Amino acid sequence: MSLVWIPACAGRTRFPNKSFAHPLRSLRTLRYSILLRLMVKSNRKGTPTRKGIPLMYSFRFFALSCALLLTMSLANAQNPPVAPANYDETKIPDFTLTDPLKTSDGRIVDTPEMWNNVRRPELLALFDEQMFGKLSDDGSITITIREKHTESVFNGKGTRHQLVLQFSKQGESPEIVINVLIYTPNNVAGKVPAFLGLNFMGNHTVDADPGIRLNTIWNRSERKQYQPTAEERGRQSSRWQIEKVLDRGYATATAHYCDIEPDFNGGSIHGVRQLFDQKGEPNEGNTIATWAWGLSRIYDVLAKLAEAGELNIDINKVIVHGHSRLGKTSLWAGALDERFAIVISNNSGCGGAALSRREYGETVHRINTSFPHWFNGNFKKYNLDVNALPFDQHELIALIAPRPVYIASAVEDRWADPKGEFLSGFYADPVYRLLGTDGIAGVKEMPGVNQPVGGRIGYHIRTGAHDVTEYDWEQFLNFADKHLK
């Protein structure tokens, strides 16, 4: 009995001719065939006709095992394991990058008009459809400034503004509140440029300033809200350098990213997406798109307050920035919303500034598996075939053109592929030049460590790990001075 069945599994009885059978026999079938043979062997031993029962059991065992193996292999086919990260430049697969200056139907983009009217909208739509996703914001969401507190801080050096924003739609007001913290420099004549970025651990962590409210926040790993304590104040202050930014004449604004939407799969039911009419389609926006949307809404509020003379911010000089997943977010926010004057990506890596096709460090497959809620459903189609993507991340950078963009990497942050981050800026250069800027200013290769380079596209790689450091801020401020002052 089994002898007939087993070779069929292994593909041998069906294909007695070895040369024909061989290419069809995958490693997995081979493995299964060995397993089945072992089962048959033990069956043979335990099948003496003295007892019929073991034979019946072994039949069942056999059938169940086959069903199990089939299910396992089907599951494997649907969720193939993610390959280990590659950190070897010589093992980077061959690839051809998509050309930012060629339309999908093969036309060469050789004028700024063609870029602005044809290629840019086309690329934006592709990123929207295939990666970040659309949000069904029909413009009916209202933002109410529920509270606003203003106080002088740092011995008169600056002013702290704290806003409580309530998001609602046509009277529906689930408790969606975004707490915005803003510092503006005092003793500066006129309106000042401002940095705007989301923070990872709550507003109270960006500086030890005891006046920052200890708002309840979402804890992403425990998937629940909690009340922070005073000990957590200033935990991430090195990443924000608030006083340095004020000293250099800039304002700085932030909000906790989980106020917009908590960062876990399923978090959308707790954030602003409750107010959207999402249908669960694969092209719909996910968490990164929502955070980016939130940045634009905070911009709206800053603009309103600046217009009303309640904030001395120059709304035409707002720099959107972000670290890591929030660097992916700042790039997408900056690509979508041309009101952002400068865009900064710090260690944004896969799905941010790093080229997907290099598959160095974190890959598309890895990120979509670990963080399925960040990008849209369509992006998962490219898990095993990044070369099928109709774009690569240099085109995300190009979508920011001609506005200045700064990409920052760190030597030890190999997971984010520093070279891939540099190359995105490098390959966005033709678009910047088409639009009449100096692009990456003739830089031909990746610069040495701690040697910032570039023109309208700026880049540095610093010593150290995945982080935002004082060194990074020095470069961001120098870059902003160069382009805004």
Active-site residue set:
324, 466
Question: Does residue 217 sit in helix, strand or coil?
Answer: strand
Q: What is the dihedral of CA 420, 366, 385, 459, to 10 degrees?
A: -10
Rounded to the nearest 5°, which phi and psi values hold at 199? -110, 160
Q: Where along the sequence are the contacts to ligand GCU (CB under 6 A)?
A: 324-325, 349-350, 362, 367, 370, 415
- DSSP one-letter code for 80: P
Answer whether 408's CB lies under 8 Å from 460's CB.
Answer: yes
Minimum CB distance to ligand GCU, residue 383 (Å): 15
Q: H-type helices in 11-157, by residue range? A: 18-21, 27-45, 53-78, 112-114, 120-127
Nearer to ligand GCU, 292 or 453 (CB): 292
Rounded Cα–Cα distance for residues 97 and 81 (Å): 26
Task: Report cis status (omega within 30 of 0) of the bond before 402.
Answer: yes
158-169 and 217-219 strand pairing: unpaired
Question: Does residue 5 sit in helix, strand or coil?
Answer: helix
Q: What are 228's two structure tokens?
A: 């922070």
Q: For 155-168, b where at least 16 C-beta lie within 10 A, e where not — what string?
A: eeebbbbbbbbebb
Measured at the CA of 125, the angle between CA 135 and CA 377, to 5 degrees, comes to 55
Question: Does residue 143 sit in helix, strand or coil?
Answer: strand
Minimum CB distance to ligand GCU, residue 351 (Å): 6
Question: Does residue 354 sit in helix, strand or coil?
Answer: strand
Determine the length of the chain. 485
Answer whether 239's CB lies under 8 Å from 206's CB.
Answer: yes
Half-sphere exposure of 344 (CA within 13 A, CB side): 26
**CB burial class (10 A; 0-12, 13-18, 19+) of residue 435?**
middle
To the nearest 10 degrees (0 to 180), the angle between helices 287-307 and 325-336 is 60
Element spanning 130, H or E: none
Q: What are 73's two structure tokens?
A: 């292999």
